[in-house]
């Protein structure tokens, strides 16, 4: 029987969740102040289907366990690309379910926003995120490329 705490739900950041998510945002960006976080996050929540935002992951008990801020950018490699500056994950035992759930949802959002690529900055040693985004794209069957601290995939 699976542990209900391993069930991860992912949704876009809402206005009501901005202050709650600050703790995880601060883990990902240590110099971040609450004022700057609010100023950055509020425009995301004003346009919940917009081209920039943040994903939140919660465990089966409703605790916040993951954060992934994103924005659509254009680059020379793929054109329209979903850029993820950093993924924050907090889990006491196994963070892989959190990372996998965030990676799957980021790929879905990239497709919804008509992006041809997804780029994620990865901290050195963050193999679970690299694994979640590496390999073959489930939809296109195309190989995904990985680079030192940046993962690029075709969506």
pLDDT digits (tens, 9 = 90+) for 78-102: 789 999 988 888 876 677 889 899 9
8 versus 77: the higher-pLDDT residue is 8
Q: What is the pLDDT of residues 23-48, one digit of tens each?
A: 999 988 999 999 999 999 999 998 87
For the chain, the structural domain boundaries read 4-154
155 versus 70: the higher-pLDDT residue is 70
% of the chain exceeding 70 in pLDDT: 73
Angle at 85 between CA 69 and CA 137, to 5 degrees: 90
What is the model's pLDDT at position 129? 61
HSE value, Cβ hemisphere, 13 Å, CA-based, for 120: 33
**d(C-alpha 95, C-alpha 114), whole Å:** 29
What is the model's pLDDT at position 31? 93
Structure tokens at 56: 């939140």
- Residue bearing tokens 């050195």: 124
140 versus 42: the higher-pLDDT residue is 42
**d(C-alpha 142, C-alpha 154), whole Å:** 7
* pLDDT above 90 (res 148): no
Q: What class is the 4-154 domain?
A: alpha beta
What is the model's pLDDT at position 147? 41
What is the model's pLDDT at position 91? 74
> How many C-beta atoms surround the C-beta of residue 148 within 10 A?
7
What is the model's pLDDT at position 106? 94
For range 2-21, the mean pLDDT: 87
Burial class from Cβ neighbours inside 10 Å (0-12, 13-18, 19+) for residue 54 reads buried
**d(C-alpha 144, C-alpha 82), whole Å:** 15
């Amino acid at each position: 029987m699976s542990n209900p705490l391993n069930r991860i739900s992912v949704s876009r950041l809402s206005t009501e969740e901005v202050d709650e998510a600050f703790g995880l945002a601060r883990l990902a960006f240590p110099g971040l102040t609450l004022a700057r976080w609010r100023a950055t996050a509020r425009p995301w929540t004003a346009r919940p289907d917009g081209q920039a935002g943040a994903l939140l992951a919660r465990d089966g008990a409703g605790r916040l366990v993951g954060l992934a801020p994103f924005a659509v950018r254009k680059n020379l490699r793929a054109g329209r690309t979903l850029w993820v500056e950093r993924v924050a994950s907090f889990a006491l035992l196994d963070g892989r379910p959190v990372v996998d759930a965030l990676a799957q949802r980021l790929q879905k959002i990239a497709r919804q926003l008509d992006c041809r690529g997804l780029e994620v900055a990865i901290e050195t040693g963050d193999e679970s995120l690299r694994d979640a985004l590496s390999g073959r794209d489930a939809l296109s069957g195309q190989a995904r490329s990985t680079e030192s601290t940046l993962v690029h995939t075709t969506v």
